[in-house]
Structure 1
Amino acid sequence: MPQDLNTSRETKMANKATSKALTALISSNYEFDTATFEVKVVHSRDLKKAQTERIVSLFEENMFELLKDSSLGWNPKEKHKELFHPLSRYFIIQDDQKNIVAFVMFRFEHENDENLLYIYEIQVWSSIQSKGLGKRLMTDVELVAKHYSMEKVMLTVLQKNSRACSFYESLGFTMDSSSPDSGDTVAEDTSENPAIDYKILSKVVPID
């Protein structure tokens, strides 16, 4: 994941943006199957305890089986630090009972002289998957990236998560040059150095 944060004017400005300013860039509601969902963008520091618990629960529900035997591993303590890092932002999708049914966790970052909106997680509650919610979320993520002059939207995905891979590819994401398997060789599979089982995808943010 990118590490050298806040090293360009664009990322500095983006990281100073208020939740109100970010929320103003997107639709306040999504409508699917006669249901209306509230949408907003929040800083990790502004999440309430019940919201953080729901985010962790949703992540675990969707990702435990995929991650437990992967090279990325299952480390709840480290994941909690990542999810609620001070620079983490969230697209929060709530139903009419104020329950979080989907979220995107992202950060504005800078790596290799590129301004990035890096998506760390996009999770949708299983009962409302395949209804177009994920696609709508990604569209709004790109709007935010464009507004703040990010050059790419990037993310990491497990290769065995074929459903997610197909979803991102359908949206125009391709293998990024920073992906460990972007070349012709893949790491040798040993107990000390497990085979690379994830890839980094990116999508160039268009400039008008």
Structure 2
Amino acid sequence: MPRSSAAVRRAKKATASDLAVSVPPARMICDKNFSLSVKTTTDIHGDEQTHIWHIFEESMHALYRASSFGWNPQKKKTEMFHPLSRFLIAREITDPTHTGSHIIAYAIFRFEREERQDVLYCYELQVSTRARRFGLGKLLVHILSDIGVQWGMTRVMLTALKANHAALSFYKSTGFTIDESSPDFSKDSEGETRDECDYSILSRCLP
């Protein structure tokens, strides 16, 4: 386990209110209004956990079943709802009171020490199928970067399955590249990238 730094230890203690400084409370995209919030695992209620899980399952079930990770709901839920997880949540505003507004997109992240660098590690970034093509994914990436900068992180990192071509294309368009720690970063004697693993570790440097 990499030794934590003072910046990571400080960031891990941040409350939802502390993190929300970098998060706009609302944003209009394509004539639709969305509310944005940050929560810790203890702030997430049962119905919210259910919605978060359903969006993940909707997008990733088939990909995980075909991957080296396999489909293990209990293990994945333990990772997603870890005590140190933080949730950046988007909801569509359908009425002034926000009553009945379900989660339609989210990012799950933690502050970690990786390869001697302080990073914001994005464990999940998911957008419900009915809310895609509005730019919510890019908005969440930009907000994650702002949070990372606020708390002194040097980059945003994540793991993506190679079979998830849409996700890889999206992350490339938002400035992510293959990180040096990724199994497929190094090249063999003939200059070809190694392809044994079915996932890549990507990163985006922060200013």
TM-score (norm: length of structure 2): 0.91
After superposition, what is the alpha-carbon deviation per residue over 1:104-149, rounded to whole angstroms, capped at 9, x for unaligned?
A: 0000001222101000000001011121111011111100000101
Determine whether 1:127 maps to 2:130: yes
Determine whether 1:67 maps to 2:70: no
- 2:173 aligns with 170
In structure 2, give the amino acid aligned to 1:146: V
- 2:198 aligns with 197
Question: What is the count of residue pairs matched by the alignment?
Answer: 196
In structure 2, give the amino acid aligned to 1:205: L
Structure 1 range deviating more: 144-153 or 26-35: 26-35
Counterpart CA distance in 2 for 1:24 and 1:114 is 23
Counterpart CA distance in 2 for 1:33 and 1:183 is 41
Counterpart CA distance in 2 for 1:116 and 1:139 is 15
How far did residue 170 of structure 1 move? 1.1
Counterpart CA distance in 1 for 2:89 and 2:205 is 24
- 1:18 aligns with 15
Secondary structure of the residue that 2:22 maps to in structure 1?
Answer: coil
Q: CA RMSD in A?
A: 1.3
How far did residue 73 of structure 1 move? 1.4
How far did residue 36 of structure 1 move? 1.1
Identity %: 38
Counterpart CA distance in 2 for 1:155 and 1:64 is 18
Structure 1 range deviating more: 82-91 or 161-170: 161-170
Counterpart CA distance in 1 for 2:137 and 2:72 is 25
Determine whether 1:38 maps to 2:1: no
Counterpart CA distance in 2 for 1:65 and 1:125 is 15
The list of structure 1 runs, each at least 4 consecutive aligned residues, that deviate by more than 3 angstroms after superposition, is none
Counterpart CA distance in 1 for 2:22 and 2:185 is 34
Counterpart CA distance in 1 for 2:104 and 2:30 is 14
How far did residue 72 of structure 1 move? 1.8
After superposition, what is the alpha-carbon deviation per residue over 1:3-41, rounded to whole angstroms, capped at 9, x for unaligned?
A: 537x11100111111101211212101212322111001
How far did residue 184 of structure 1 move? 2.0
How far did residue 169 of structure 1 move? 0.8
Asked if structure 1 preserves the Cα contact closer than 8 Å seen for 2:182 and 2:200, the reply is yes
Matching of residues 1-208 of structure 1 within 5 Å = 3-4=1-2, 7-96=4-93, 97-185=100-188, 186=194, 195-206=196-207
In structure 1, give the amino acid aligned to 2:200: K
In structure 2, runs of 5+ residues without a counterpart are: 94-99, 189-193
After superposition, what is the alpha-carbon deviation per residue over 1:76-118, rounded to whole angstroms, capped at 9, x for unaligned?
A: 0110100010100000111233200000000000122210100
In structure 1, runs of 5+ residues without a counterpart are: 188-194
Counterpart CA distance in 1 for 2:33 and 2:151 is 28
Secondary structure of the residue that 1:116 maps to in structure 2?
Answer: strand
Counterpart CA distance in 2 for 1:103 and 1:57 is 12
Counterpart CA distance in 2 for 1:131 and 1:92 is 15
Asked if structure 1 preserves the Cα contact closer than 8 Å seen for 2:111 and 2:120, the reply is yes
